[in-house]
Amino acid sequence: MCGRFTNIMTWAEIHGLYSIHQSGPPASNMRPRYNIAPTQDVHFTHKGKSGELEIDYGRWWLVPFFAKELPKAAMFNARIETVDTSGAFREPFKSKRCLIPADGYFEWTTNAEDGKKDPWLLQLPEGKPFSFAGLWAYNDKLGSTSCTIITAPAVSHIAHIHTRMPLILDPASYDAWLHPDIQGKDAKSLLVDRQIDDQLVFHRVGREVNSSRYDGTDTKMPIVNSL
């Protein structure tokens, strides 16, 4: 699953990640975020009506277009196994696929000595930015823009931390993932080609991360002798 992630990229760096070329990035007071939790607002990228890439902002907890109220069931992750058939995710999978920028995410293991949760930070080498495969929705009744992250069984070298993981797309697949003409099995096959996941590295971090209210700059600092 993906229950927390980090994004300390600047507005210009997000534009660079998606090769959005403008005379200059729009003015933004975007701040680094070290412990993003479900229901918080996040940036995500999708194709607009003109076919150009757009950076949007919305709730990380999908609110389906047909919902009459904010969902109480967990909607911050969508499972790859049912993302194209589930009632809440089926339509977004067809027409509202997106990329959610990040530079790390957290998972937890249970400490054998005290039974408490130990957080781990998973990243690409050198903290290189990446994108989760996601879906987004707009609910005009509630005035809500929202998104969710697609998850899959974890690759072998991180499965001891958690059995599932968020899908990280290879940059070579960005355009195809966002392209409305790519549908059905062709779209889902983009999620199966996951060689970039094998590059993930990880280390333990402080338990302060366990609180969704904590957003200190030290959330990425490794615990010595954690491996």
Share of the chain above pLDDT 70, in %: 93
CB 60 within 8 A of CB 76: yes
Closest C-alpha to 106, from 195, 204, 39: 204
Which is nearest to 119 in space by CA: 40, 202, 197? 202
Distance CA 189, CA 199 (A): 20
First-to-last C-alpha distance (Å) of the chain = 21
Cβ contact 206:131 at 8 Å: no
Catalytic-residue membership of 113: no
Q: For residue 197, what are its two tokens?
A: 């996941």
Is residue 104 included in any domain, yes or no?
yes
CATH number of the domain that residue 54 is part of: 3.90.1680.10
Active site residue 107: yes
Predicted confidence at residue 154, as pLDDT, reads 94
Residues 94-131: tens digit of each pLDDT: 999 999 999 999 999 999 999 999 999 999 999 999 99
Give the domain extent around 191. 4-24+32-220
* % of the chain beyond a pLDDT of 90: 79
Pick from 58, 97, 63: which is nearest to 181 by CA?
97
Position 178 scores a pLDDT of 96
Look at residue 225 and tell me if it is in a domain.
no
Catalytic-labelled residue, pool 69, 81, 98, 107: 107
Whether 226 maps to a domain, the answer reads no
Asked whether the whole model's pTM tops 0.85, one would answer: yes
DSSP state, residue 219: G
Q: State the total domains in the chain.
A: 1
- Catalytic annotation, pick one of 2, 69, 81, 98: 2
